Structure 1
């Protein structure tokens, strides 16, 4: 099973020296876990917030990466772009360790408190080994009841006064992206990707390119398209996606606009269940 492989690879590795964050800006860093990014917002000497938490049992590596940047100072909160296993898998362990709240969109609450499960992954979408394995990926995570709170309805983000969240539904019913207007930094979650998310090769040999959301888990392709169009209109200077290396510059801008204009051809798989 893919999840068993991920758990084993984490538990067999006791040296976390390589688990360090990479700085994007003076107040933004990310740590590239096995298959997804976690993002830290805040300068090393300031208060900070963690966005997304990787897969189950990755909390020790994430803690190491965070402590390398912030010492023992805990974040003020965890914000989840959505509740899929690879973004929320270590949320409970980290929230327990730091004794902090977790925030996400109200439409995601049922999926992280046990009331609902996400649809299973769709291995028919093609694109690589990760797609083929997606049918056995977890569709629910550790219950976050007692830790999780809904984000405010006005688009504001707790503890991040100069950021806002953007409703980027489609990949999941309550998916969000984070945007800072003053320098147009976009934390996209899985609304789009900067590596081919269906391919195992892309994990080990990442090539920067703007792709659509991970196809094997995307539920509503119409909403996903509208979300990408919405993000393109923001004209971001930097994109930090859930999957892939951060991108900036004119090449990124051009590829994002091309994806928005040609979403059906570029992102929607010809064969799919959803």
Structure 2
């Protein structure tokens, strides 16, 4: 199928309907409106359920990473995370169409490994959270620059070739590392704690959604901005539920929170399979 002509308002098919349940005139919302797909696209439609799944995977990646690192030797945990990521991406690249459980498995493993990578930069190398956030931002901008210079688009509706898929996953991996560093920066460097950090990121995403609806920003940067910030949003609330009261949390534990989020992700994926909706 030929991709429809691109406009400033189009690139991801859906934004503000998370807020109003539909697309906004005169364009299409990138949060959750009518989807636009190419025949060979290997990424999901951008709907409200996409953002639900995205936030769930970010939270699970955070707590799963913490659980593994605290129950295994950190080098072993990092090796397992890298192996899981490699296997999940190999499976994602092997299929020729979008398969929900494969795609979201890959996102979960990107979340786990991205968390480990960002934590390693701070804990092992001693790099401050602010510096690591700036570093990962520079890497992400470089990925976007090369992607756009090579393919002339950053639209995920155009992720229908192997090279574009590689650019897409490079960007996704970097956004998770950047989001992790940003969340740690607000929680620790700015001393906001987990719950307050989550509220801050929710508010910033809300402002971005409003700015998009008002036409102040176009869809591609709005999408990727939200994609980055949903990482610390989900991770902050996941950490808040997992850590003990001495750290301002609910004390449910990383294992229980990880298992609960895994069940929720499976439910969203199953919903897609049974209803035919692309989450």
**TM-score normalised by L of structure 2:** 0.24
Structure richer in helix, relative to its length: 2
Query: Which structure has the larger Rg over C-alpha atoms?
Result: 2
**TM-score normalised by L of structure 1:** 0.24
